[in-house]
């Protein structure tokens, strides 16, 4: 009996081998290689063959690099603002779509449409629309007697410009997840609440929201990871300007690496440190949602 169990176990492990090989080749090895590389001063401009071991030197240099922290601050600001607006808007849209009996498919398609566009296309499209002189947004403002806005060149506005593009692009994502949550809830509970005299807010707060919380947790976590990893939108819409007011972490890491300075060791060290920040921030977001659940 025991022999058969061991054999079955062994067979189970053997089935895992293909996945394990793929995992090692495509995930574990690159991560380890990246980590080892981050310990080197490997500057391709000085010569690709010249690799100097500096231990944690690159990591220590990051702490003195004001531009890294500026980019991280911009990234967090962008991610938090986008997440809040996307979540509120996405939830509202999901509630409306849930209530709509006729034409729901049309509205759902309209909301989902931006999701089918790649980030780069969305960014270029919005850069054209927000062009201060010839863009349709400022033309619209002019036509109603308002002053045109310098969407891309004003350092006080530019991060909100990126948030605007992001919201247009990805709100549908939250809508879909929350709508799935709403539709998975038994209708009887809501009907009981209605019979018991609960108003709309009470039905949402005490019946729907507890059910939606796990959906919200998934949506918020996934979106937060995505938002922190923003690159194309900042790169194509504002190029990080003016004066680094919209430079985000991924962009700064890329510029230090293959996208400019070719300081490969340093950029990988930044990428690793940034990944740690992403994990911490997402853990904090999840914790915040859970605090609500514990109450």
Partner 1 sequence: MKTSKKLIALLLSAIMIMTCFAVMNAGAAEEADKPYAGQTVRVLLNSHPWQEAIEPMVSEFEEATGIKVEITTLGEDIYWDRVNLGLSSAEPPFDVFMLSPNMTGYNGYVNGWIANLDDYVYQSEEYDFDDIYPYIVDGFRFPDADGSIYGIPLTMETYIVFYRKDLFEEQGIDPASLETMDDWWTALDQIQEAYGDQGIAPAVIRGQDETMPDELLAAVYNNWGDRPYLAQRMFYFDENWDTHFTDDAVKEGFRTWAKLLSMGPIGATSFTWYECVNQFAAGNAATYWFDASLFAGTFEDPDQSLVAGKVGYTAPPKTATGNGTTHWAWGLGISEASPVKDAAWQFIQWGTSKDINERTATATYGPVRASTWEAKSAEFGEEYCAAVDEALNISAPGYMYFNGAAEVTDKIIDAVVRISQGEDLEEVMAWMDGEAQAVVEKEGLKAE
Q: Does 255 bind partner 1 (CB under 8 A)?
A: yes
Q: How many residues bind partner 1 (CB under 8 A)?
A: 33
* 202 vs 204: CA distance, rounded Å: 5
Least distance (Å) between residue 52 CB and partner 1:
10
Positions 155 through 174 that interact with partner 1 (CB under 8 A): 155
Which string of x and - marks every residue 85-124 that binds partner 1 (by CB under 8 A)?
A: ----------------------------------------
Q: Which of 153, 185, 225, 226 binds partner 1 (CB under 8 A)?
A: 153
Find the binder of partner 1 among 1, 134, 186, 276 (CB under 8 A).
134
Q: Which residues 6+ apart lie within 8 Å of 258 measured at CB?
A: 264, 267
Q: Which residues contact 119 (CB under 8 A, 6 or more apart)?
A: 169, 231, 232, 233
| 56 interacts with partner 1 by CB under 8 A | no
Q: Which stretch binds partner 1 (CB under 8 A): 9-17, 23-31, 133-141, 196-204?
A: 133-141
Give CA angle at 49 (47, 50), nearest 5°: 70
In this structure, what DSSP letter does residue 207 have? I
Find the helix packing angle between 66-99 and 249-256, rounded to 10°. 140
Instruction: For the segment 163-222, give every residue that binds partner 1 (CB under 8 A).
Output: none
Of 162 and 177, the one with the shorter C-beta distance to partner 1 is 162
Comparison of 5 and 45: residue with beta carbon closer to partner 1? 45
Give the gyration radius of the chain's Cα atoms. Answer: 24
Cα separation, 156 vs 74, in Å, equals 12
Helix H or strand E encompassing 52: strand 51-53
Nearer to partner 1, 44 or 69 (CB): 44
Contacts with partner 1, residue ranges (CB under 8 A): 43-49, 131-134, 138, 148, 150-155, 236, 238-244, 255, 258-262
């Amino acid at each position: 009996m025991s022999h058969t169990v061991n054999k079955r176990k062994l067979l189970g492990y053997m089935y895992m081998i293909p996945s394990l090989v793929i995992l090692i080749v495509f995930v574990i090895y690159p991560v380890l290689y990246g980590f080892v590389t981050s310990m080197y001063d490997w500057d391709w401009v000085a010569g690709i063959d010249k690799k100097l071991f500096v231990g944690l030197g690159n990591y220590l240099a990051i702490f003195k690099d004001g531009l890294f922290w500026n980019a991280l601050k911009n990234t967090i600001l962008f991610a938090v603002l986008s997440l809040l607006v996307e979540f509120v808007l996405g939830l509202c849209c999901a509630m409306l779509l849930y209530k709509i009996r006729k034409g729901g498919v049309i509205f759902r398609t309209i909301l989902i449409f931006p999701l089918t566009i790649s980030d780069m296309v969305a960014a270029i499209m919005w850069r054209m629309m927000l062009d201060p002189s010839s863009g349709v947004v400022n033309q619209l403002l002019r036509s109603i007697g308002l002053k045109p806005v310098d969407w891309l060149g004003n350092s006080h506005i530019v991060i909100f410009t990126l948030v605007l593009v992001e919201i247009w692009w990805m709100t549908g994502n939250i809508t879909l997840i929350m709508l799935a949550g709403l539709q998975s809830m038994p209708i009887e509970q809501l009907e009981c609440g209605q019979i018991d005299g609960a108003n709309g807010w009470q039905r949402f707060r005490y019946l729907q929201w507890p059910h939606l919380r796990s959906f919200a947790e998934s949506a918020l976590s996934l979106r937060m990871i995505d938002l922190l990893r923003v690159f194309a939108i900042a790169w194509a819409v504002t190029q990080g300007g003016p004066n680094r007011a919209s430079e985000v972490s991924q962009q700064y890491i890329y510029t230090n690496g293959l996208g400019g300075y070719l300081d490969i060791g340093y950029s990988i060290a930044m990428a690793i440190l940034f990944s740690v920040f992403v994990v911490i921030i997402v853990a904090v977001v999840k914790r915040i949602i859970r605090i609500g659940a514990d109450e």
